Structure 1
Amino acid sequence: MIATLTEQLRSMATGAIETLPALAIAVVILLITALIARFSSAIVGKLAGSTDLRKSLRDLAVTLTRLGIWLVGVMVAAMVVVPSLTPASLLAGLGVGAVAIGFAFQDIFENFMAGVLIMLRKKMRIGDVIECEGITGKVEHVTLRETHVRRLSGELTVVPNSILFKNPVEIFTDKEQRRHDVVVGVSYDTDLDEAAEVIRKAVMSVEEVDKDQTLDIFAKEFNSSSVDFLVRWWAGATPRDGWESKDKVVRAIKRGLDDAGIEIPFPYITHTFKEKVPLGKDVGEEVGNSD
């Protein structure tokens, strides 16, 4: 038994020694592959950088170039170590292995494919402000697995690409401007035409409001204490632009209505009693006695 074991170990050692030259050649091939992949990626990145391609597409081209070169290099190195392997058998093995790995790492490959498709999209560029699944912020970086979104409060959120691909994404900055709105209430004794004109002049006096776009002032509804106007205007698309324009629009409308003597009413409450409420001297005496 010992003799058999010794013979097997000797045979394994002999086989390992015989494969050392092939392993050395495979290592050299991998080193050359690394150099070629690095050099080719730099060339592709430089060529892509001279075009009008978005940064995400340039990164995708560089990544796919590097992956393709490494795939070829690994296949050549494997055929050197195991001469019985052929390109056809390697491709068949890769197909079977890809299926098995795909089931084992489904989420990883899902995010990978979603990252590729997101990079191929014409929408959602680096720097866009988006909202998806309760996450609102600026897109800082897109990789093949995840997207980095900087929240408006400063925190960085790493979002799996599959979430951004499978769910609706609202892009605030798809265009330079978007519409904002505010509700303005005036008292019931107000001339609505006059109030609308005052509001129009006030909004148009704000520098941030786009004068070339439509300014809408609609009498919206009869509220409990006021007649409400819906005021809609166009200004910068980012949340910051929206807040700044709304701040100045509200201030301008308040100032304009005050100057015109138009009341912005407080809520009025009317109490109705089932029985007659006593007033006069008896009420004062009852209050005094209760003290």
Structure 2
Amino acid sequence: MNILPDAGDADIAQRLVKILDATNWFEDPGVRVDEGVVFLSGTAESAAHSEWASQLAASTQDVVAVVNHIALKTASPWDFSASFESLGQTFVHAAQATPAILLGGILLILTGALCAAIASVARRSLAGKVRSLLLRQVLARAIAIPVFLVGLYLVLQLSGLTSLALTVLGGTGIVGLIIGFGFRDIAENFLSSILISAQRPFAIGDLISVADHQGFVQRVTTRSTLLMTLEGNHVQIPNSSVYKGTIINYTTNPKSRASFSVGIGYADSIQTAQATAMQVLREHPAVVTDPKPMVLVDSLGPATVNLSIFFWVDITRNSQLRVLSAVIRLTKRAFERAGVSMPDEAREVVFPDGLPIDLPLGQQTPTNTSAAKVPLDTRDVELEITSSDRDDDRSVNDAEGNLEAESEDIYSQAAFSRVPEASGANLIADVDGSVEK
């Protein structure tokens, strides 16, 4: 800034004072010039204003140096002018950002609607290709999530939060990794539920055995598989244990084999016993003919020839336990009628009053008439068969109830039982292909 050629100290001081007064940034500004050295005094509102005064003086012609003695103004603790000014600026910025915020909100709503539409279309498209309801939902959401992230990025960028938008997109994977470690068990059960619903190792109503529990499948949720045991109890098994465990499905093949053993006397005809047992199996209405039943010689015991009897039952229609009870009962009755003995491995008869024995001549009759124990072969004992047992030709009696499968009883119990509140929606189909909503 030029004033006059070879300006004097007074001219420099006068010019600087007028400039400092014109800014209204200083209180009692003072300028003294001595041999080209400028001395500034007074009070400034901020350090930036004091620095500005120093630069102004230094750029003046014929100024050799600047000594700045301008003090900074000390604000009163009761002076809220700065706060009011900051608040006013905030309102101004908010007003200026209002159009961008409204546009961002509209864009966010449109993004949500677009994601819902895309997920709905994806679910309908996958309905005929993916049988698992849960897997369809997961795939549909996986398709819609990128659209939502793009919309969120645009909203944040429109709002002037470009750095935050980049952080959100870049941190999505990190957040997912952290959540995966923190909720590992929950994530494992959720993924297992997807695999179970996709692979379908069982259906609703199947009788299965898994994780040391046996029961009928009631439902599969995102957390657990719900069984109702044969005792009528609800059992919730984590899906991770179900998927990683050994599953025995008794319903997939409706036919199940039952067996029992029976011992006959050595003097009895094995062929007669086999034919008698086979006749019982063929005549029983609950024993299926395919696969065929078998009566095999299993082993030779100390006092009996042991036979193993095998037969198959349709467990979807009949109870294996009840049919087994009926077949054992009818086999015993048939053996008795056919004269086939079923001796114990060891038996003795006690005669409390003694047993008279005829001895050859020259031998004395034993004077000891105390109790004598004489082994007795069960073939010499006539078995009593009651008239009611002889007349009982029914395939099932009152004690056995009926031959119907236990599933009917379990289903009736399940209908009246309270489903655990936290079980959630069912994810797999019923045996007829329907899914509980």
Q: TM-score range by the shorter chain?
A: 0.7 to 0.9
d(CA) in 2 for partners of 1:184, 1:11: 99
Question: What displacement does 1:72 show?
Answer: 4.0
Match of 1:60 in 2: 135
Secondary structure of the residue aligned to 1:82 is helix
Q: Would you say 1:150 and 2:237 are equivalent positions?
A: no
Matches within 5 A, 1:82-231: 82-83=156-157, 84=162, 92-231=170-309
Secondary structure of the residue aligned to 1:95 is helix
Q: Percent identity, aligned pairs only? A: 22
Question: What displacement does 1:150 show?
Answer: 1.9
Which entry has the higher C-alpha Rg, 1 or 2? 2
Match of 1:265 in 2: 343
Question: What displacement does 1:224 show?
Answer: 4.6
Question: What displacement does 1:125 show?
Answer: 2.4
TM score, norm. by length of structure 1: 0.75
Which amino acid is 1:248 matched to?
A
The structure-2 alpha-carbon separation of the partners of 1:255 and 1:25, relative to structure 1 and needing over 3 Å to count, comes to same
Question: What displacement does 1:212 show?
Answer: 2.4
Unmatched segments (≥5 aa) in structure 2: 1-76, 350-365, 372-437
Which amino acid is 2:295 matched to?
I
Output one character per residue of 1:33-82: Cα deviation in whole Å (capped at 9) or x when no partner.
6853785487468x44xx8x75xx1343134324543x246424532442
Secondary structure of the residue aligned to 2:292 is coil
Which amino acid is 1:65 matched to?
A
d(CA) in 2 for partners of 1:255, 1:14: 102
d(CA) in 2 for partners of 1:41, 1:207: 51
TM score, norm. by length of structure 2: 0.52
Match of 1:24 in 2: 105
Secondary structure of the residue aligned to 1:201 is helix
Query: Which has the larger helix fraction?
Result: 1
Secondary structure of the residue aligned to 2:204 is coil
Output one character per residue of 1:103-145: Cα deviation in whole Å (capped at 9) or x when no partner.
1111111112211222222532222211012110112222333
Aligned length: 270
Secondary structure of the residue aligned to 1:221 is strand
Whether the 8 Å CA contact 1:25–1:80 is kept in 2: the answer is no
Match of 1:78 among 152, 161, 165: 152
Secondary structure of the residue aligned to 2:319 is helix
Match of 1:251 among 329, 339, 349: 329
Match of 1:276 in 2: none
Secondary structure of the residue aligned to 2:203 is coil
Unmatched segments (≥5 aa) in structure 1: 272-278, 285-291
Which amino acid is 2:109 matched to?
V
d(CA) in 1 for partners of 2:112, 2:175: 25
d(CA) in 1 for partners of 2:92, 2:298: 91
d(CA) in 1 for partners of 2:93, 2:345: 93
